[in-house]
Amino acid sequence: MADVLAFWAAALVVAAFGYPTGAVLLRRLPDAGAGVALPLGLVLASYGYFILRVLDLLPPGRGGYLGAIALLGLAGAAAMGRDRWSVVTLRRGIPGLGIAFGIFTVAFFGYVAFRSYNAEIGGTEQPMDLMYLNATLNAEEFPPKDPWLAGEKASYYYFGYLQSGVLTAVSGVPASTGYNLSLAYTFAASAAAIGSLGFALARWMLGARGRAWATAAGAHAIVVLLFVGSLAAVFEWTAAHGHIDRGIYAFFGAEEIAACSVPKVTDYCYSGVADQRTTAWYPTEFWFWFRDTRIIPDTITESPFFSFLLGDLHPHVTSIPVVLLVLALSLATWRGRSVLDFRVHRRLPIHGLAVAILLGALAFQNAWDVLTFTLVFSLAVFARNLRRAPPLTALVTSIGYVAPLGGAAILLYLPWVLTFSSQAEGIQPYVGAGTRPAHVLLQFGPIVAAGIVASASATRGLRRAGALNAALGAAWLPVLPFISWVAFAWLKGDLTTAVESRTAGGWWTLVIYAFALWAVSLAAVMMLAARRAGAAAAVFAALGILLLYGSELFYVKDVFAVGAPRLNTIFKLSYQAWMLLALGGGAATVAVVAEARRRPVVLSLAGPALVLVWLGLAFPLLASFNRTEAFTQDTHIDGLAAVRASDPGEYALVEWIAENTPRDAVVIEATGRRWSPGADGPAVVDGGSDYSDAGRISARTGRSTPIGWYFHEIQWRGNNADNHAEYQRRQQLVDSVYISGDPDTVLDVMQEFGAEYLVVGRIELSRYPGLLPDFSTFLDVAYRTANYTIYRLPQHTVVQTS
């Protein structure tokens, strides 16, 4: 419990140190930015640590992290000292800060309690996440090295891991504990942020009289963002209990769920074992909830709740508070009064610097977010300037304000930009069947319905004059992407194939998205023209639907392009859409209900949206009991506690390396490929290394190894022949250490990679059965317990046993 309290306290201290800067940047929000103080403080402190470590102006480790936080406090004090409204702003924001800290505390400890039933860091991509967390914690220099590719710099957007490292180091908890507490921080900071923004939107829509309703809007936005999940859970529950009407299941696109009642009918089923889908009131089939994110063929469609249920500390998850922070910045910017142009930067350079840090953080945190949410901020600037100038002038002045921020952001994050290699190879027209409307309903029904409600919010009293022009203008938003898709496919010679491949369901999905986009865009245009507060909610909802619509027409070509071309595109863009629609639609739904007595007709939109949200709560209810085995499992918060209990020798080996080797040490360990003796010599019988124990020492300690997860390195650095050749060479060299039996080969490989240590543990014994030589004849034994041994180059002679 001491670790949990220390981490929680560290998060609040960082937020308190960052809040003065937020009060200057975000004073236009009702709580003066208090709701996003947590991500704001952490982003600024983490950036300070990063850039000062790059410049070698801070020491590595805990002292450096504490120094960065202290500098954040000084910067906040200086910002407040230069702001003539500081006292008034602080007085207004302190109550909001107390509320935000209260929401954060309840959500943080609630998630810690939930995660304690499944704290183990293993399976899926959690070892990768732990590896990058340790990479930032143990880096002797910045940018940090890639522990799974010895000798190379990290080539990934790792800012989220750096932020987790700040709180982990400052609180003094082990990385394996900090991993789980970072998930709790992300969940809780997201709750505080969207609750604050949902309150702000509804308060602006309803005015001072609607404070109670605005509070409800904030709570509703929290529910839609963090708790609603796939509607497929309803069908999972009925199927688990044998109540299957195949006609109804087929109508709702859930026929694959029904098919899982028969063993091995389809790859969609996780286990496909008959008569074992439940032994309780909830589905007890192992991880039934996992397949509900793959219900759209060849895609991934996560909801935030699924992400926190699964427990991967991925960039798209840790970016949620940062995205909400930038949305808060966009709202505060939009609510401002003066024109924003280039001259503002000369008058307020520190203000511009802070904004550039926040915008640049989008790319460093999760590169997929930078275009979408920089666009949101740019639209906010343009909408603000449009109130003071005609469109062309507003556009020119907006570019003059935003462009320098973009240039500054690139310069501020240049040390990362220079080491980052993107796998993206450009945008392509999607040529395929498209998504069925039923699957849209199952996966996105609650958030799309909430978004459509935004078209009815705050439209009361709008002038009908110009409505036709507004309707025609709004129509361009759904029409232009479609025309662009047709033109792009025609230029590539794929138009005929694209038209013929798309099914009737795929075409209907385009129509549904296009109509929803037009309706919400029309409301946004009319409210912007009338300067109505509901415009912000409608714009967020429109952009969310545009992302879903666009992912039906285009995809980003990447390493998955051959087998599942739009896998990453649907995955990342639908996640962004979830955040936008949860905020805009979630707040608008409550605002509409608040006005029901004056406009009962709007309940025809809000009612179905609320019903879908309630149905979406079936997913967290059923999945939570499944994931925790009805909350009966043993509880702990250390992600390696399970290793300590099940394999003490392996845990002791990891601890010895962490405590007795330099942070920049290179360790030889198994590649993940499985070998077998044969008449013609050893042969590979299993070539897979990803999602295995490969690189487990490196992941758990932050020490480098020559090669970790092969395909992940391809994803991070590019799918080209040179990379494949180099990573295959590394695998072959490391495997030769364990199977060649030649001391010269072993020493040559270790010297090539600068490796001083070689591990023989349970994984090596299982991957190279009967093939391991007696390393003690030419290497020193540095540590040994039972069958677990760490060898060291022969210039050392110390032997430690336990």
Residue with the two structure tokens 């898709």: 485
pLDDT, tens only, 531-557: 777 889 999 999 999 999 999 999 998
Mean pLDDT of the region 92-121:
93
pLDDT of residue 674: 92
- Residue partners of 519: CB distance under 8 A and separation at least 6: 452, 455
Q: With cut-offs at 50, 70 and 90, classify the pLDDT of residue 560.
A: confident
pLDDT of residue 425: 79
pLDDT of residue 502: 94
DSSP structure string for 77-120 = HHHHHT-TTHHHHHHHHHHHHHHHHHHHHHHHHHHHHHHGGG--
The residue with greater pLDDT, 350 or 362, is 362
Which amino acid is present at 35? Answer: G
**CA pair distance 38, 33, nearest whole angstrom:** 10
pLDDT of residue 576: 96
Is residue 201 within 8 A of residue 333, CB to CB? The reply is: no
Burial 719-743, CB ≥16 within 10 A → b, else e: beeebeeebeebbebbbbbbbbeee
**CA pair distance 582, 589, nearest whole angstrom:** 10
Which helix or strand (DSSP H or E) is residue 785 part of?
strand 780-785
pLDDT of residue 207: 80
Is residue 377 within 8 A of residue 326, CB to CB? The reply is: yes
DSSP structure string for 598-636 = T-GGGHHHHHHHHHHHHHHTHHHHHHHHHHHTTTTS---
On the 0-12 / 13-18 / 19+ scale of CB atoms within 10 A, 621 is middle
**Distances in Å between the alpha carbon of 299 and those of 526, 536, 574?**
36, 30, 11
Cis peptide before 415 (omega within 30 of 0): no
Share of the chain above pLDDT 90, in %: 63
Query: Is residue 568 predicted with pLDDT exceeding 80?
Result: yes
> Parallel, antiparallel, or unpaired: how do β-strands 667-668 and 757-760 relate?
parallel
pLDDT, tens only, 707-729: 999 999 998 988 889 999 999 99
pLDDT, tens only, 213-267: 889 999 999 999 999 999 999 999 998 888 888 889 888 888 888 877 666 555 6
**Distances in Å between the alpha carbon of 178 and those of 8, 44, 339, 691?**
11, 20, 44, 22
pLDDT, tens only, 164-223: 999 999 999 999 999 999 999 999 999 999 999 999 999 988 887 778 888 999 999 999
pLDDT, tens only, 294-345: 889 889 999 999 999 999 999 999 999 999 999 999 999 999 889 999 999 9
Query: Is residue 458 predicted with pLDDT exceeding 50?
Result: no
- Of the candidates 140, 189, 196, the one whose C-alpha atom is nearest the C-alpha of residue 167 is 189
pLDDT of residue 348: 86
* Cα 797 to the center of its chain, rounded Å: 46
DSSP structure string for 415-431 = HHHTT-------EEE--
**CA pair distance 747, 743, nearest whole angstrom:** 6
pLDDT of residue 781: 93
Task: Mark out the alpha helices in 302-412 (DSSP H runs).
Answer: 304-310, 315-318, 320-335, 342-347, 349-365, 369-386, 391-412
pLDDT, tens only, 744-780: 999 999 999 999 999 999 999 999 998 999 999 999 9
pLDDT, tens only, 656-704: 999 999 999 999 999 989 998 877 788 888 888 888 888 999 999 999 9
Average pLDDT, the chain: 89
Query: Is residue 798 predicted with pLDDT exceeding 50?
Result: no
